[in-house]
Amino acid sequence: MTSATIRPASDYPPGGDAFRHRHLTGIAQLTPWEISYILDAAEQWVELNRAGAAKHDDALRGLTIINAFFENSTRTLLSFEIAGKRLGADVVNMHAAQSSVKKGETLIDTAMTLNAMRADAIVIRHQSSGAVQLIADKVDCPVLNAGDGRHEHPTQALLDALTIRRRLGRVEGLTIAICGDVLHSRVARSNILALTLLGNEVRVVAPPTLIPPAMERMHVRVFTDMDAGLDGADVVMMLRLQNERMDGAYLPSPREYHALYGLTPQRLAKAKPDAIVMHPGPMNRGVEIDSNVADDPARSTITEQVEMGVAVRMACLDILTRRTRKVPGWN
Ligand code: ASP
């Protein structure tokens, strides 16, 4: 029996024992109570971020955070940058387009260069699954995964869990349908891991060509019929068709995809009457989701997810730097 099965999610150990990891490379490493610990820590930052003009804390004053993004990003990069700055850190962004990677530098050499700059935390997005772990193994400071290939996007799953918990009052015992391009989605993978770990029924709803193999090993129910997959769901999480990761034709056409798997008001009616609609962004309106669903404030949590993203990333940066900041109880 693992510690995850004997300790309920709401009951985490005191001090530094609440989160023993040096890095945040994936949800796969976490226990339910470690996830809850981050979500609870994030709540205080939601309050701070809503506190009018004084959105600032100096917990990370004097620390340098490098955001090393080898793949494009709008909201995740901005969110990590705002999170670091709101905690008082110096934040530097490195875009791959301007970096030596384009000149042929290996990932390990890039890691050693970043390490020599003596950053206090490095946030990495990379197009290859496993690249973030490779860098984490080589550097002296905490590393946070901001998305690696099709593998994981842990802060997205954490912000999604926080959004669900705030909207529905809990993030356990729910039926959650994750719909769309699951095959190419690190968001889906991290969410499946987090939401099953927290004790929810997770369904995957997609055309057969966009369902990864061996899904049953991830303890999800697979549906190829959207109406059946949404039936009685508390949460409908839509995913973008990740065309940039497709190396062939997975679908006849976006129009046909929308006809069978697009979230319309009629289709949403299959879910519970108060079901919420989520999307990690960027959205393809009219493909996986209709505007009148995406823009319905009673159902859609899309802007709230962005807001929770800043708070969750503040919590992760704060928690992961506590040992180097020598916060009492964290050694
Ligand atoms: N922004 C998310 C990601 O980085 C989802 C997406 O790109 O569709 O994986």
Q: Give the phi and the psi of residue 304 in degrees, each rounded to 5.
A: -65, -35
Give yes or no for residue 280 CB within 6 A of ligand 1. Answer: yes
Q: Can you give the pLDDT at residue 98?
A: 61
Give yes or no for residue 262 CB within 6 A of ligand 1. Answer: no
Please, what are the domains in the chain? 9-152+307-321 (3.40.50.1370), 154-301 (3.40.50.1370)
For residue 280, report the distance from its CA to the centre of ligand 1, in Å: 6
| pLDDT tens, residue by residue, 172-210 | 999 999 999 999 999 999 999 999 999 999 999 999 999
- In the predicted model, what is the mean pLDDT of residues 35-50? 95
| pLDDT tens, residue by residue, 242-296 | 888 877 777 778 889 999 999 999 999 999 999 999 999 999 999 999 999 999 9
How high is the mean pLDDT of the chain? 92
For residue 62, report the distance from its CA to the centre of ligand 1, in Å: 31
Q: Can you give the pLDDT at residue 99?
A: 64
Give yes or no for residue 153 CB within 6 A of ligand 1. Answer: yes
Of 136, 162, 160, 163, nearest in space to 148 by CA: 136
Residue 151, pLDDT > 70, answer yes
- In the predicted model, what is the mean pLDDT of residues 313-318? 98
Q: Can you give the pLDDT at residue 9?
A: 77
Q: Can you give the pLDDT at residue 245?
A: 80
For residue 187, report the distance from its CA to the centre of ligand 1, in Å: 7
Residue 105, pLDDT > 90, answer no
- What ligand 1 atom has the least distance to the C-alpha of 125? 4
Q: Can you give the pLDDT at residue 3?
A: 44
Q: Can you give the pLDDT at residue 2?
A: 46
| pLDDT tens, residue by residue, 70-80 | 998 989 999 99
What is this structure's pTM?
Answer: 0.95
Residue 159, pLDDT > 80, answer yes
Q: Which of 66-70, 108-112, 311-315 has the lowest mean pLDDT?
A: 108-112
Q: Can you give the pLDDT at residue 4?
A: 45
Q: What gap in Å lies between CA 132 and CA 21, rounded to an integer? A: 15
Helix (H, G, I), strand (E, B), or coil: what is residue 215?
Answer: helix
Q: Is 153 annotated as a binding residue?
A: yes
- What ligand 1 atom has the least distance to the C-alpha of 240? 8
For residue 124, report the distance from its CA to the centre of ligand 1, in Å: 14
Give yes or no for residue 187 CB within 6 A of ligand 1. Answer: yes
- With a pLDDT cut of 70, the percent of the chain lying above it is 94
- With a pLDDT cut of 90, the percent of the chain lying above it is 81
For residue 188, report the distance from its CA to the centre of ligand 1, in Å: 10
Give yes or no for residue 180 CB within 6 A of ligand 1. Answer: no
| Helices and strands in the chain, H and E counts | 12, 9
- In the predicted model, what is the mean pLDDT of residues 84-109? 82
Q: Can you give the pLDDT at residue 246?
A: 79
DSSP of 194-213, one letter per residue? Answer: HHHHTT-EEEEE--GGGS-T
Closest CA to ligand 1's atom 4? 147
Give yes or no for residue 86 CB within 6 A of ligand 1. Answer: no
Q: What gap in Å lies between CA 84 and CA 318, rounded to an integer? A: 9
Q: Which of 185, 279, 283, 285 to mutate to test the pocket of ligand 1 (most atoms within 8 A of CB)?
A: 185
Q: Can you give the pLDDT at residue 8?
A: 73
Q: Can you give the pLDDT at residue 10?
A: 79
Ordered alpha helix ranges (H), the chain: 3-6, 32-49, 75-86, 107-116, 131-136, 154-168, 186-197, 226-230, 254-261, 265-268, 291-294, 302-320
Report which residue type is found at 9.
A
Q: Is 282 annotated as a binding residue?
A: yes
Residue 230, pLDDT > 60, answer yes
SS3 content of the chain, % helix, strand, coil (to 5): 45, 15, 40
Q: What gap in Å lies between CA 66 and CA 121, rounded to an integer? A: 7
Q: Which of 37-51, 84-98, 242-256 has the lowest mean pLDDT?
A: 242-256
